[in-house]
Chain A
């Protein structure tokens, strides 16, 4: 256990993370081959991190435009097979099938989510997004139990994808993309005996799935469906995840990314303020790499995911200079405000 007496106060150095995230966005990354099919997710972490650092303005307009163009090149509109949305990378796009539909050019729900948020972060107005096709395709991904699978075929289903689906409906302002009642029922089934929420029914409670569940309820305006006992249990379970830093499960070590997953869920349930520790930021700062980025644990290698969630977690702690979060959508209030303005025009 760390106390204020034994631990030196660490300083947050935003410039380091700006450099690191720009490198991710623009540079060639070695050793991340396994992330190839999820390049959009990496891009999203880089852009979203820069957004929290309030650095989007400083990306040259031409570069923004080229990224937006690249994102739109990943849009699949296939209303015959209902597999519209966004791809994870260009690896299914060839000179021959560019702009056309072809086998395995199936959108993935996590990539659609990442691309839509990235477009919003970059200031795009989503006018080139085929909203109707994406919403229609989304419907086909919901399973009879209410959960969502990630893509048409070959992918698992769980609470992560429920959250992605809820975000897509919220961003596109069209909930006809899912059976909301069925989703609510699924979430209720995933609430465990200990108060938290698992990735599926009867699975172990986890802060990641608890966040996804609470955000999905909040985005679809269904938080009030929680009973008083469920609400109390959820808050208690989440509050117990704090011990010098946030963990994701009981008796698991604290980890940078849970400063957002747990912290964000607490924010959604209006309980973050119950945590009182002036050194709340110190654990996250211990995972700050001297060359930029945040890592999972102290003295491990930083990665884009933990960098983004580290920044998001610090933002919840009101560190100055960081944009405030709109936790339900896992984005900043700045981006959420832009979205609301765009949606006004759709009405």
Chain B
């Protein structure tokens, strides 16, 4: 852990041992043994110790909040600094500056995991969901491939309105609108699948979605994510009893073969494995049906 002063980074760093203010402190030597392993020249600073000092000296925690704000902007991928921030917010019970701080960090790196984690924690703990969907909109407008933003969208809806029929409809529209021009965006396809987990009909029976997919396919689009969704739709229908006129064994065969030979060749073995599984399924279902009939017959 490095040491930071609250001054600007241009200020020359002075070791504690050379700092007159620390003159009255007798240094305690670390005992590294005779043969050090991965020896490192370092400076010490322990956040836990710092927190106990802050409490012990009854320091103004708002000043500390400003200090850690600066540290986070410089060290935004360090676990300890975010944890320190979280403890301070818990102590102060004041989440008012947190969204802004995470927005500053996300403005530089829109996928910073720590910032998103902190943001989710503060939003959920202090019920700050208001305005979050609008913020996500702005991020997706900037980069529709921002997977963190899509994940946040799911988080917000799951914790507020839930996926009611109305919300589901709205979100499907939103996702399809954002997919039509950028069809190789895994994040949006994954979100769409996430939405359909809440559709009573499953993956393959939402008219809006199937129409969108079929039109896209007919237009000559071969995004592997589109083809994969279509394969899974076939799987679902076959599992439910043979498949309808669109999503059936023949269709699955065609799609898998397209993925294997042309559109997702690095995962060819996987699609072959998927296809083998699908081919076996109708047979398995048939055997099960026969067995059931036989048992019924024996019972009567």
Binding site for B on A (CB under 8 A): 24-25, 27-30, 32-37, 39, 42-43, 46, 66-67, 69-71, 73, 89-91, 93-96, 98, 104, 153-156, 192-195, 198-200, 202-206, 235-236, 239-240, 242-243, 249-252, 271, 273-277
Contact = CB atoms under 8 A, between A and B. Distances in A.
B163 to A, nearest CB: 10
Nearest to B46: A104
B29 interface: yes
A33 B35 contact: no
16 contacts: A25-B37, A29-B38, A33-B42, A36-B42, A66-B35, A70-B35, A70-B37, A154-B51, A156-B86, A194-B190, A194-B191, A194-B193, A200-B117, A205-B151, A242-B266, A271-B270
Interface of B: 1-2, 28-44, 46-49, 51, 78-79, 82-83, 86-87, 111, 113, 116-117, 120, 145-148, 151, 154-155, 158-159, 185-187, 190-191, 193-194, 197, 228, 265-270, 273
Given A24-B38, A67-B37, A154-B51, A251 B186 contact: yes
Given A154-B51, A154-B87, 10 more contacts: A25-B37, A25-B38, A33-B2, A70-B35, A90-B33, A94-B31, A95-B29, A95-B31, A98-B31, A104-B48
A206 B113 contact: yes
Contact of A94 (B29, B37, B185, B265): B29
A202 B117 CA distance: 9
A288 to B, nearest CB: 22
A250 B209 CA distance: 22
A204 B49 CA distance: 31
Given A193-B190, A252-B147, A39 B1 contact: no
B123 to A, nearest CB: 10
Nearest to A92: B30
A42 B37 CA distance: 10
A28 B39 contact: yes
Contacts of A98: 31
Contacts of A69: 33, 35
Contacts of B155: 202
Contacts of A202: 120, 154-155, 158-159
B267 A275 contact: yes
Contacts of B43: 33
- Residue with the highest number of chain B CB atoms closer than 10 Å, among A66, A205, A240: A240
Contacts of A198: 151
A154 B83 contact: yes
Given A199-B113, A251-B186, A252-B147, A43 B38 contact: yes
B33 A34 contact: no
A239 B42 CA distance: 41
B40 A32 contact: yes
Contacts of B46: 37, 104
Nearest to A160: B79
B102 to A, nearest CB: 14
A35 B31 contact: no
Given A67-B37, A90-B32, A93-B31, A203 B117 contact: yes
Nearest to A192: B151
Contacts of B270: 235, 239, 271, 274-275
Nearest to B268: A276
B266 A35 contact: no
A250 B48 contact: no
Given A36-B40, A39-B40, A93 B30 contact: yes
Contacts of A46: 38
- Residue with the highest number of chain B CB atoms closer than 10 Å, among A28, A94, A204: A204
A73 B38 contact: no
